[in-house]
Amino acid sequence: MHPMNNGMILLFLTIFSSMWMNLFFNNHWMSFIIFLIMIGGLMILFLYFTSFISNMNSLIKWKNLSNFFIKILLLMTTLFMIIQFKNEWTWTNSFNEINSINKLMININFENNIQMNFLFMINKNFNTILLMIFLIICLTLIVKICINKKLSLRKINYEKIYLKK
């Protein structure tokens, strides 16, 4: 698979993960910060991939592309349905009741701790961990390539620049 296709899939997973975190938190800073970190990593990956594979043809087939967009559309409609019916779920109501009890009994700072624990529950953090693992693997591979060749990723030929002047 072409690395640019993987980058697009990673971008959609990042957007979906940040929207999912945005759904469950009263404070939206955490999803915004994670989105910015992942987009920064994607920009660095895009820079490295464009220097390596500038002439590589992408083997995108329209059938696969349409299937990909159908899957993304289904994910987005599922997310928006979850947003619409969020208050009708029993586990959300019980979670909100626990939050209201904690607000009455303990100070407001404890609510943020509950939200952070909810973010990193085992069944909720798969997309975040997948994105982080992909970024760290790409970063280590690119660093190993740079160390082995002892050159920058895109070598500038200075003789041609000086000969033109």
Q: What is the pLDDT of residues 129-151, one digit of tens each?
A: 777 788 788 778 877 777 776 65
Does residue 77 lie in a domain region? yes
The pLDDT score that the predictor gives to residue 158 is 47
Does residue 78 lie in a domain region? yes
Does residue 107 lie in a domain region? no
Does residue 91 lie in a domain region? no
Q: Return d(Cα 130, Cα 33) in angstroms, integer.
A: 17
Domain count within the chain = 1
The pLDDT score that the predictor gives to residue 46 is 76
Q: Which pLDDT tens digit goes with each residue over 37-84?
A: 888 888 877 777 766 666 566 666 666 667 777 777 777 777 777 767
Place 95 in a pLDDT band, splitting at 50, 70 and 90.
low
Q: Return d(Cα 153, Cα 103) in angstroms, integer.
A: 53
Does residue 106 lie in a domain region? no
The pLDDT score that the predictor gives to residue 42 is 80
Q: For residue 13, what are the CA distances in angstroms to 32, 109, 129, 132?
A: 14, 30, 11, 11
Does residue 96 lie in a domain region? no
Question: What residue numbers bound the domain in which 9 lies?
Answer: 3-84+125-164
Does residue 28 lie in a domain region? yes
Does residue 40 lie in a domain region? yes
